[in-house]
Amino acid sequence: MNDGLRARYEASVDRRTNQESFTIKCYGRGLWAMLRPDDASPEQLVLVDLGRNPGPMHARQRESATSVSFRLSEGFGSSESFVAVLFQTFEAERRRDEERRKKESLLSVAEFVLARQRERLMRLRIAYRVAENDGERRSALGVKLAAAIGATAPAPAAQHDARGSYERDRSLR
């Protein structure tokens, strides 16, 4: 069990007392063990379960646990430093997960706003005026627009209103 020991702190509720507590799951090369604080002296850990999982499942659980430089043994002694190391790792992972959730939440809000802006921009109409008589001074853009409209203008019988319809869109209000 101690060969390549890895462990993970898990916050839990003690089923017997309904109080907040924790369990520590330890993973060796082939076995796993579950430890919890002793009722009589909480600074000591008690082994409450031991088992062997199928290989791939054990490998996944072992990979998600933290490598520790402690050894499990029978007897009495304080486990404060062991629990402290695992708790610090647990808190760091919890903060990282919380930051990731906040970031994802902000990104989803930004994605929603961008989608609404894109919908709004699809309904944007541009008003422009092209000078039709030669006496009026034309800008460079006006000259280009007149040339483009003249080149693509349909025959006079097939001309249509380029401004489109003026139906009111109630979704914008």
Is 83 within 8 Å of 66 (Cβ atoms)? no
Give residue limits of the domains in the chain: 6-95, 126-155
Residue 72 DSSP SS3: coil
Sort strands 66-67 and 45-51 into parallel, antiparallel or unpaired: unpaired
Rounded alpha-carbon distances, angstroms, from residue 157 to 80, 130, 146, 153 = 92, 21, 19, 11
**What local confidence, expressed as pLDDT, does residue 173 receive?**
44
pLDDT in tens, 111-168: 888 888 887 776 656 666 655 655 566 677 777 777 777 655 555 555 555 555 555 5
Residue 21: which residues within 8 A CB-CB, separation 6 or more? 11, 12, 13, 14, 36, 37
